[in-house]
Structure 1
């Protein structure tokens, strides 16, 4: 996962009115991800999935709460939270386990 990319879900249709969008949370400030999430909902997307690993997990949680409580109160709900672990190559080629989270936001 790089420094915060917006990625279209390969499972959704290729139409401009996609029903789901995935946002990878990384090194940028949380407000960047909040704006990307709000813009996706304003563009007609029904479900946004915030994905983060390691230190960015708290930023993904902050993003979800800010969108739900401050930017789109009563319009967006947190539908699901998945706690995961990813195996990544560390320094020296060693395999490490890193915590990850997926937060699903849906229009109410």
Structure 2
């Protein structure tokens, strides 16, 4: 899957991302990837659950990937940041 069906979760309200996922599905995209890092992971899970339970009844989890990314820290060291990719499909 390329960038077309990918939604990156950040600091905006949850419903903004829910509407982005629903608009992707309504435009003909059969699969959507929800990506988040760090503190936004819980928001990504909320988005996936709201989409599945309230908006698009036929959506199912296709895959969930959990990883740790090493980013350069402010003090010259490295910081580990958790990330998640949630794949939803019809």
Distance 1:61 1:93 in 2: 32
TM-score, scaled relative to structure 2: 0.93
Distance 2:17 2:61 in 1: 15
Cα drift, residue 78 of structure 1: 1.2
Distance 1:54 1:60 in 2: 10
TM-score, scaled relative to structure 1: 0.78
Gaps of at least 5 residues in structure 1 are: 1-7, 11-19
From 84, 90, 95, the equivalent of 2:78 is: 95
Corresponding residue pairs, total:
90
Greater relative contact order structure (CA < 8 Å, 6+ sep): 2
Distance 1:31 1:90 in 2: 31
1:59 aligns with: 43
Gaps of at least 5 residues in structure 2 are: none
Distance 1:90 1:26 in 2: 20
**Structural mapping, 1:22-41, within 5 Å:** 22-41=6-25
CA RMSD of aligned residues (A): 1.4
